[in-house]
Amino acid sequence: MQLEEIKSKFERFLRQKGYKITRGRFEIIDKIADYGPHFEIEELVRWIANQNRSIASRSTIYRTVRLLQEFGAIREVIKLGNRTIYEFTAGKPHHEHLICVQCGKIIEFYKEEIEELQDKVCEEHQFTPLNHRLEIFGICSHCKAKSHED
Amino acid sequence: MQLEEIKSKFERFLRQKGYKITRGRFEIIDKIADYGPHFEIEELVRWIANQNRSIASRSTIYRTVRLLQEFGAIREVIKLGNRTIYEFTAGKPHHEHLICVQCGKIIEFYKEEIEELQDKVCEEHQFTPLNHRLEIFGICSHCKAKSHED
DNA sequence: TTAATTGCAAAAACTTTGCAATCGG
DNA sequence: CCGATTGCAAAGTTTTTGCAATTAA
The CATH number for B116's domain is 3.30.1490.190
Angstrom distance (rounded) from CA A141 to CA A131: 29
Q: Are residues A86 and A101 in the same domain?
A: no
Looking at residue A59, its pLDDT comes to 97
Looking across all nucleic acid strands, the nucleotide with the smallest C1' to CA distance from residue B45 is C14
Q: According to the model, what pLDDT value does residue B150 have?
A: 63
* Bridge-based pairing state of the strands B38-39 and A83-88: unpaired
A75 shares a domain with A25? yes
| Residues B62, B98 within the same domain | no
Give chain A positions within 8 Å (CB) of B136: 118, 121-122, 127, 129, 131-132
pLDDT per residue of chain B (150 residues) written in tens, 0 to 9: 799 999 999 999 999 999 999 999 999 999 999 999 999 999 999 999 999 788 999 999 999 999 999 999 999 999 998 999 999 998 899 999 999 999 999 999 999 999 999 999 999 999 999 999 999 999 999 999 988 676
The total number of residues written for chain A in this structure:
150
The answer to whether the Cβ–Cβ distance between A125 and B131 falls below 8 Å is: no
Closest nucleotide relative to residue B21's CA, C1' based = C24
Rounded-to-integer distance, Cα B133 and Cα A123, Å:
20
Question: What is the CA A42 to C1' C2 distance in angstroms?
Answer: 34
Residue spans of alpha helices (H) in A41-131: 41-49, 58-71, 112-124
Nucleotides of D under 7 A from a protein CB: 3-9, 13-18, 23-25
Specify the nucleotide whose C1' lies closest to residue B19 (CA).
Answer: D4
**Which domain, by its residues, includes B28?**
1-91
Which of A44, A73, A91 is the C-terminal boundary of a domain?
A91
Residue where a domain stops, chosen among A43, A76, A91: A91
Q: Are residues A76 and A39 in the same domain?
A: yes
Residues 6+ apart with CB under 8 A from B31: B44, B47, B48, B55
For the whole model, what pTM was predicted?
0.94
Residues A71 and A136 in one domain: no
In this structure, the answer to whether residues B87 and B105 fall within a common structural domain is no
Backbone angles phi, psi at A72, to 5 degrees: 105, 10
Residue B84 with chain A: CB contacts under 8 Å: 79
Nucleotide C23's nearest residue (CA vs C1') is: B22
Which of A61, A87, A90, A91 has the alpha carbon at shortest distance from A75? A87
Number of domains in chain A: 2
Residues B21 and B75 in one domain: yes
Q: What CATH number should be reported for the domain holding residue B30? A: 1.10.10.10
Residues B115 and B84 reside in one and the same domain = no
Nucleotides of C under 7 A from a protein CB: 4-9, 13-18, 23-25
* Domain end marker among A64, A91, A118: A91
My answer on whether B129 and B99 are in the same domain is: yes
- One domain, residues A87 and A27: yes
Identify residue B65 by its one-letter amino acid code.
V
A133-142 b/e (C-beta count within 10 Å ≥ 16 → b)? bbbbbbbbee
A139: which chain B residues are within 8 Å (Cβ-Cβ)?
A: 127-128, 130
Q: Where are the alpha helices (DSSP H) in chain A?
A: 3-17, 23-35, 41-49, 58-71, 112-124, 141-149
Are residue B15 and residue B78 in the same domain, yes or no? yes
* Protein-to-nucleotide distance from the CA of A138 to the C1' of C23, whole angstroms: 38
Residues A83 and A22 in one domain: yes
